[in-house]
């Protein structure tokens, strides 16, 4: 967040470069994440202007709201443990870029790289992170630190609350309810982080498959699309759908597992946020209505292209489909039985169950 004549306000972001990791994978060295962090932070636009005093108030209130959200989230979700509540990290846009790059380096492994290896991809990743850093309100990173890290991007939260015309204090707590739910999900089901890492490894393990086989799958997908109606599944649409079409079965299955997990995590967070909201956020109905309208608002052509390329529209669809799944299951069986979903990878919803929750109920709960 910027103020008159100053740069970073609030907690200073961790601008240290992502540390090397001993983890090696098929993705190791493919992207120079150090370069990505530097490049993204260099080009990211400044956030909304505000006074230093106001910015410091935002940081303090977000820190307080993230701690305040923990109790109601655990009560409603019934995901309880005795772990201490870690403090949230309040960052600006460059701070989020550095944190995201460090997380990606940890997740994919940096490996041994030559002098120029990974640098073109690093520049591209930096541009991607710069674009995303202007839209991210908060994020739980399960791959940093012993207890993960809850990141809240102060300038973006201020920018959105101003655009929506909502009560700032209520909106900040509302955002924290969603992001704290993610922290609770991972702290209550520690296996989730390893599950994600494993599927990312599989996704990156492309081997030495001939290019003609990949192109053959892509052409077959294009032919099939001409003869079938558009799917409601975001994984089947746009760039993401074509990406799936080029992948061999193991990679496609890993991507599907990650997409289903993401859909569950986001939908569950939205469900919990709305269930908690009326008790602790007085203007929650106004916030939800304004926020949903903002999600549906058409972007300009350049933004639409970027959203498609980065899968942002697919992520928005994840919230909608995931919340509908959680709403229906909890409505039918209650939160206690729904929480069976966090047992292990086999109890997560499958691709054919998200849109038809009764299939998940029949398979997992009998």
- Side-chain half-sphere exposure of 140, counting CA atoms within 13 A: 26
User: Hey, what are 314's tokens?
Assistant: 């697919």
pLDDT at 114: 44
pLDDT at 216: 53
Interatomic CA distance for residues 304 and 292, integer angstroms: 17
Dihedral, CA atoms, 253, 255, 258, 259, nearest 10 degrees? -110
pLDDT at 11: 42
Helices 119-132 + 93-108 axis angle, to 10:
130
Cβ count within 10 A of residue 346: 8
By three-state DSSP, how is residue 136 classified?
coil
Structural contact between residues 31 and 122, judged by C-beta atoms closer than 8 angstroms: yes
Token pair 């929650």 is at which residue? 284
Cβ count within 10 A of residue 342: 18
Interatomic CA distance for residues 188 and 162, integer angstroms: 34
- Side-chain half-sphere exposure of 154, counting CA atoms within 13 A: 30
Using CA atoms, how far residue 131 sits from 93, 152, 161, 303, 312, in Å, is 10, 16, 19, 10, 11
pLDDT at 117: 58
Q: Give pTM, 2 decimals.
A: 0.79
pLDDT at 98: 95
Interatomic CA distance for residues 181 and 173, integer angstroms: 12
Query: DSSP assignment of 257-322, as one string?
Result: HHHHHHHHHHHHHHHHHHHHHHHH-TTHHHHHHHHHHHHHSPPPHHHHHHHHHHTHHHHHHHHHHH
Structural contact between residues 200 and 27, judged by C-beta atoms closer than 8 angstroms: yes
CA 309, chain centre distance (Å): 16
User: Hey, what are 134's tokens?
Assistant: 């202007």
CA 141-95-29 angle, to 5 degrees, is 65
Interatomic CA distance for residues 103 and 36, integer angstroms: 12
Instruction: Please list the pLDDT of the chain residue by residue as tens digits (366 residues).
Output: 544 333 334 443 444 444 433 344 555 567 888 999 999 999 999 889 989 999 999 999 999 999 999 999 999 999 987 777 788 999 999 999 999 999 888 877 654 444 455 788 888 889 989 988 998 999 999 988 777 899 999 999 999 999 999 999 999 999 999 999 999 999 999 999 999 989 888 877 755 554 445 445 445 544 554 554 555 554 444 445 555 556 677 888 888 898 899 999 999 999 999 899 889 999 999 999 998 887 666 555 555 555 555 555 555 677 788 999 999 999 999 999 999 999 999 999 999 999 999 999 999 998
pLDDT at 296: 64
């Amino acid at each position: 967040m910027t103020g008159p004549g100053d740069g970073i306000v609030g907690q200073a972001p961790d601008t240290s470069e992502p540390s090397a990791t001993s983890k090696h994978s098929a993705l190791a060295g493919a992207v120079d994440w150090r370069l990505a962090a530097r490049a993204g932070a260099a080009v990211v636009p400044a956030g909304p202007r505000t006074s230093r005093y106001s910015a410091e108030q935002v940081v303090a209130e977000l820190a307080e709201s993230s701690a305040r959200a923990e109790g109601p989230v655990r009560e409603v979700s019934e995901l309880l443990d005795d772990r201490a509540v870690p403090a949230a990290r309040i960052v600006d846009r460059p701070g989020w870029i550095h944190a995201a790059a460090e997380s990606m380096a940890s997740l994919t492994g940096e490996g041994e790289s030559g002098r120029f290896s990974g640098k073109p991809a690093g520049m591209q990743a930096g541009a991607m992170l710069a674009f995303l850093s202007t839209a991210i309100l908060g994020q739980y990173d399960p791959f940093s630190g012993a207890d993960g890290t809850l990141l809240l991007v102060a300038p973006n939260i201020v920018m959105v609350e101003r655009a929506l015309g909502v009560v700032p204090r209520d909106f900040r707590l509302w955002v924290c309810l969603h992001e704290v739910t993610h922290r609770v999900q991972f702290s209550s089901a520690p296996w989730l982080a390893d599950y994600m890492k494993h599927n990312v490894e599989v996704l990156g393990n492309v081997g030495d498959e001939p290019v003609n086989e990949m192109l053959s799958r892509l052409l077959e997908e294009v032919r099939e699309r001409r003869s079938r109606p558009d799917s409601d599944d975001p994984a089947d649409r746009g760039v993401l759908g074509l990406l799936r079409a080029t992948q061999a079965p193991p990679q496609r299955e890993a991507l599907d597992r990650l997409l289903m997990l993401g859909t569950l995590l986001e939908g569950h967070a939205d469900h919990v946020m709305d269930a908690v909201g009326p008790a602790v956020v007085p203007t929650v109905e106004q916030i939800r209505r304004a926020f949903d309208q903002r999600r549906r608002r058409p972007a300009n052509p350049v933004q639409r292209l970027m959203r498609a390329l980065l899968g942002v529209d697919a992520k928005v669809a994840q919230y909608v489909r995931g919340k509908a799944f959680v709403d229906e299951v909890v409505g039918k069986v209650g939160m206690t039985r729904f929480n069976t979903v966090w047992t292990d990878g086999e109890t997560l919803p499958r691709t054919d169950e998200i849109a038809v929750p009764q299939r998940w109920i029949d398979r997992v709960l009998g």
